Every structure is written in structure tokens, then in C-alpha cells.
Structure 1
Amino acid sequence: MHHLIVAVIAFACVFGSALLGLHIRTRLPGQHLSDDSIEVVKLATGLIATIAALVLGLLISSAKSSFDTVSAEVTHAAANVIMLDRVLARYGPETQEIRSSLKQVLTAGVQKIASGDPAQLHTMYSAEAYQRGENIERELAELTPQNDAQRRLQARAIEMADNVLAVRELGLLQAVSATPPLLLVALVLWLCIIFGTFGLFTRLNATVATALCLGALSTSVAIFLILEMNTPLEGVITVSFAPMRAALAVLGQ
């Protein structure tokens, strides 16, 4: 919800700047609207617009990259969990309790993340959550292989459990990345200057007002998308947990 509030504030600032420019135009003496003045202001505005476009493009690219990375990590983790479960099944019936624990831990984790509740997500970083993963690793280490095949399967299971936990931590860390507030403020400031200039050298009519409103709306939507994709585990735009649910469906079989 706070991302939507930020986007609304950005829209109000940008569109308000355009309206302010339209108002200032009616108050300025004629010499301030001469061809020379307009040309200089257009050049300065063009420079600011270029900077703003570059920053906006970089922020969108960075946010999309972060979102795609977390999405890929979710799929990777789901595949690793399935493979770990199959290795344990091949080990023998001694691992049935470990497989049940693995499914319980995964089910609880998916429910917490899919809820989108910040309080639930915060528990994923708790000592208890880390301990549950470490308990599975400890249970794997405490297995007593009876032959070479079981020893190889045990070593592989421990390695895969390490990978699953590493992927989990990487995904959680990347999911809390945030847009630098100062950069966001600077971007909105540049957009305000640009739209204020648009209003300054334009006569007000319904078409102009609509165009300025749509332009401000587009920039605020872009800012909203950046903020949402930078937090892929919560908010309106989240990564798909279909791979994890598919993994849960086959665990223990």
C-alpha cells in the first residue's frame, strides 16, 4: 500500500507542477516568454529530461532484473527440493521422517511468503526459521549408511540441502532490495521541473490538461512498478509460487 501512496504523491507533485507552470504563464511579463527565453529554457529542460529518462530507465531495468532473479531462485529452489526428496526416497525408509519435516518446513514457508503479510515475511528471518533448516541438515548428517550406495546418497543429500538453504537466503536477501529514497526524490524533482516547463509555455485547454495528466500518470505508474518489482515477495506484483506449490504436490510420494 505504501508504494501506491508514493506513486500518488509523485503524480500530485508532477501534475501540480504542470498546473503551476500554466498559472505562472498568466503572471509573467511578455519579455519572459520571448523566443530567446523559450529557446534557452527548452535547452535546459531537454538536458534535465535526458537525465531523468536515463535514471528512470536504469531504475526500471534494475527492478526488473531483481524481480526476475528472485523468480528464478524460487524455481531453482523448488527443483532442488524435489531432487532432495527423491534422493532421500532412494536412500530408504529411514529418511521418511526427514522427508515429512522437509515438506512441513516448505509448506510453512510458502504459506508465509504467499500471504504477502510483512509480519509473516519477517518471521522468515527469525532464528527459529534458520534452526528448522539446520535441523534437517543435522538429521541428514546423523543418518547411518549401511553401504556405499547409501553413503553416496547421504553425501549428495547433505550437499543439496546446503544448496536449498543457500538459494533460500539469496532469494530473501534480494527480495528486500529497495530503491534509494534520495534517487527517487531527485527523479520526481526532475519530472516536476520538466512538467512545470511544459505548462509554462503552453496555453491551457482541455487537450493540454489531459495530455499533462496522462503524462504525469504514466510517470507515477512507472515509479509504482519500480517500487513493486523491488519487493517481489510482497505487494501487488509478486513472483509466482506455482513452482513451489508443484513441488509440495510431489513431496513424500
Structure 2
Amino acid sequence: MSTLAISVIVFVCVLGGALLGMYLTRLLPQHQLSGDAKDVIKVSMAMVATLAALVLGLMTASAKSSLDDKESKLRDIAAQIILLDRTMALYGAETREHRDLFKRLVAARVNQIWPEENAVGVAPEVIGSDTGIGLLQQKILALSPQNDAQRWFQSTALQISRDIAAAQWSTFQQVGSRIHWPFLVIVVFWLTVVFASFGLFAPQNPVTVSALCVAALAVAGAIYLILSMDQPYGGLIKISSAPARAALDQLGR
């Protein structure tokens, strides 16, 4: 389910809670909504609202941490990509084919992660999770170094390629959401109950309904931002492709 669809569902649930509270006001006997009853309900809902605010804050902090971690790993991978290309270049002219293959693999991966930017000149043979880097490692192993320097560059290139493969798998594991759905459902339930208490005591006029709509929209917007930061490869909040494309521009030089 998309982030936008989830946010719309949250908006409907929260606003529906407020409207349900307004509806219950007409059904409940007036003595059940006396001053003492209102005080108890308000104190109870204040506790639930505090819990919901605390959890939303923790979810926001977790999503922001996830976004920063993914951006940092992308910059590290970009640096390793440039370093691997430079290491193969220092090995000698024998690695020209290897560098061309590596550039096509990187271009394919960038185009796969950011397809809307439509990288030019991409002709990938392999776009598997690690098949491409594995093919490159086999070609590096097939090299026949003629001196100690070339042996060192071959060993270093293999080590860097292993680091890139490990980082690739780590990034793949982070594609799934880090937010547990039962956790989110409980928070939305709390917010719905809180808004139901708002509707229970709110005057039934257009101004009040409009205010509740704006508040429900704000809550849905917060959930949308949290989910967008948790999955920053598409949607409103996205990781920039600038580090990867800068690295791609340096390949083959």
C-alpha cells in the first residue's frame, strides 16, 4: 500500500472519530455528560494524547535516523565506486574492459534506483542484486599480474569490490519499512479516540468541523512524512542521486 493511501486512511479514521463523537453527543443522555464526567474524560484523553504525541515523536526520530543512515551509506558507496575504478586504472591498460563493464553496471544501478531521472546511455547486461559485482570480481580474478604492484592493485580491487557488494546487500535489506504496522495501527487508534473526545464536547457548527478537519489533516500529514522518510527511494522525500551520479561521471577517466 502506498504512503499516500495510508495517509488518506489515517485522515478518514481520525476525522471519522471526531464525527462519531459529535454523533454520540446526540445519543447519550445529558446526565452522562455532566461536569464530573467531562473532567474524567478530559483527563483520560489527555493521557492518551500524551502517549500518542510521545510515540509520534519517537517514530519521527526513528524515520529521520533511517533517512540519514541511508544517505550516509550512499555517499560511502559512491566513494568506494570511484576508488575501485581508480585502482583498476592503476593496474594497467588490461583493465579497460573491466572499467567499462563497471561503469555500465553502476549506470544500470543508478537508473534502477532513480528511474524517473532516466540516465542516458544505460545498457545493463545484469541488474541483479549482486550478480553484476560478482561478474566483475570474476574478471578481476582472471587477470594475470606481472609484478608486485599489479598483484597489490588486484588484491585491493577485490577487497573494494567485496566492500561494495556488502554495502549493496546492506542497502537491499533496508528497503523494507522499519516501522512495525501493529505499532502504527495502535497509534492511529489512540488518535481516533482522542479526536472522538474532541467531537464529543465540541459545538456542532461549520467552524468547529473545519478546525477538526485541519487537525486531522495535520495528523495525516505527520504520518505521511514519517512513512516517506522511512522509505526515501520514492515519493515526496527522496535520497538525492547526486553522490551516485557524481561518482558515475568520474568513472572511466
Instruction: Give, in whole Å, the separation in 2 of the partners of 1:65 and 1:136.
Output: 33
Q: Structure 2-normalised TM-score?
A: 0.91
Shift of 1:23: 2.2
Shift of 1:146: 1.6
Q: Which residue of 1 aligns with 2:205?
A: 205
Query: Quick one: percent identity of the two aligned structures?
Result: 40
Q: 1:236 to 1:191 in 2, by over 3 A?
A: same
Structure 2 letter corresponding to 1:212: L
Structure 1 letter corresponding to 2:41: V
Q: Which runs of 5+ in 2 are unaligned?
A: 117-125
Shift of 1:26: 2.9
Q: Which residue of 1 aligns with 2:151?
A: 151
Q: Structure 1-normalised TM-score?
A: 0.91
Q: Which residue of 2 aligns with 1:131?
A: 131
Q: Which residue of 2 aligns with 1:27?
A: 27
Q: Which residue of 1 aligns with 2:56?
A: 56
Shift of 1:251: 0.3
CA offset digits 1:190-249 (Å, max 9, x no partner): 001000001111212333222211111111111112222222223332211111111111
Structure 2 letter corresponding to 1:64: K
Q: Give the length in aligned residue pairs.
A: 244
Instruction: Give, in whole Å, the separation in 1 of the partners of 2:152 and 2:133.
Output: 21
Structure 1 letter corresponding to 2:216: A
Structure 1 letter corresponding to 2:182: L
Q: Which residue of 2 aligns with 1:123?
A: none
Q: Which residue of 1 aligns with 2:109?
A: 109
Instruction: Give, in whole Å, the separation in 2 of the partners of 1:100 and 1:19.
Output: 62
Question: 1:68-217, aligned counterparts within 5 Å?
Answer: 68-115=68-115, 128-217=128-217
Q: Is the contact between residue 49 and residue 194 of structure 1 (CA under 8 Å) also seen in structure 2?
A: yes
Instruction: Give 1 or 2: higher helix fraction.
Output: 1
Q: Which residue of 2 aligns with 1:18?
A: 18
Instruction: Give, in whole Å, the separation in 2 of the partners of 1:2 and 1:90.
Output: 46
Q: Is the contact between residue 130 and residue 168 of structure 2 (CA under 8 Å) also seen in structure 1?
A: no
Structure 1 letter corresponding to 2:55: V
Instruction: Give, in whole Å, the separation in 2 of the partners of 1:17 and 1:115.
Output: 40
Q: Is the contact between residue 129 and residue 168 of structure 2 (CA under 8 Å) also seen in structure 1?
A: no
Q: Is the contact between residue 98 and residue 136 of structure 1 (CA under 8 Å) also seen in structure 2?
A: yes
Shift of 1:127: 8.9
Q: Is the contact between residue 175 and residue 232 of structure 1 (CA under 8 Å) also seen in structure 2?
A: no
Q: Give the 3-state SS of the residue equivalent to 2:112 in structure 1.
A: helix
Q: 1:85 to 1:144 in 2, by over 3 A?
A: same
Q: Which residue of 2 aligns with 1:119?
A: none
Structure 2 letter corresponding to 1:36: D
Runs of 4+ in 1 over 6 A off after TM superposition: none
Structure 2 letter corresponding to 1:47: M
Structure 2 letter corresponding to 1:179: I
CA offset digits 1:63-104 (Å, max 9, x no partner): 111121111111111111011111111111011111111101
